[in-house]
Amino acid sequence: MPSSSRSLLAGLAAAFVMASSQAAGPAPEATTATNPLGGKSSSPAKPAAGAKQITWVELVPPGWDPSKDFKDIDLGKLEDNDPRAAELLQKMQDVLNNAPTNAALNGVQVRLPGFVVPLEESKGLVSEFLLVPYFGACIHTPPPPANQILHVRPRTPVKFRAMDAVWVSGPLRTERNDSMMGASGYSMTAEAVTKYTEGGK
């Protein structure tokens, strides 16, 4: 197993820790520029009329534990050329790619902050992108679970770059989409995509 695969395995392990912690309880309380939805802000934003402001934690179905089948595995004991490492890598990726969604949010008008991963852009305008919960996801690190990726199509193309922090608003759908950047469990035709600011103002 090449070192790049070993790094990917370590990255997937980190994604499992993040996903498991979100499934187990609330997100961290700090809200920062690199983690726009770490948790509750000291001055919470007011969602747009008719929109429910949600957290990434709410996208995870209660009780889902992606690490339950991997808790007894010691990654440190797997060598680069161990075929079990490649098999484990594939199993972990399959779990993340098929992460279940929260059916209760299907069709709900929501507002959510995150980072832009462009999928389609032309002349500096993005017409399709993935919204992810932390900086670097899908670009510098392995994709998070599918239930932590939102596939967004703005009604009007927007001028944002990769990893810009934004707010998106619109009807949320539990709809799977596969792209070269990752599998998303949610989709949205966004009515608004605006620059992220602390407190949402």
Tell me the pLDDT tens digit for each residue of 132-161: 999 988 888 888 999 999 999 999 999 999
**What are the structure tokens assigned to 16, written together?**
């499992």
For residue 68, give its domain range. Answer: 1-201
Structural domain total, the chain? 1
CB of 149 closer than 8 Å to CB of 19:
no
How many Cα atoms occupy the beta-carbon half-sphere of 56 within 13 Å?
29
pLDDT by residue (tens digit) across 59-77?
A: 999 999 888 877 777 766 7
* Nearest partner of 67 among 99, 22, 20, 27, judged by Cα: 20
CATH number of the domain where residue 104 is located: 2.40.50.870
pLDDT score at 12: 56
pLDDT by residue (tens digit) across 35-58?
A: 555 443 333 444 556 789 999 999
Q: What is the pTM of this model?
A: 0.77
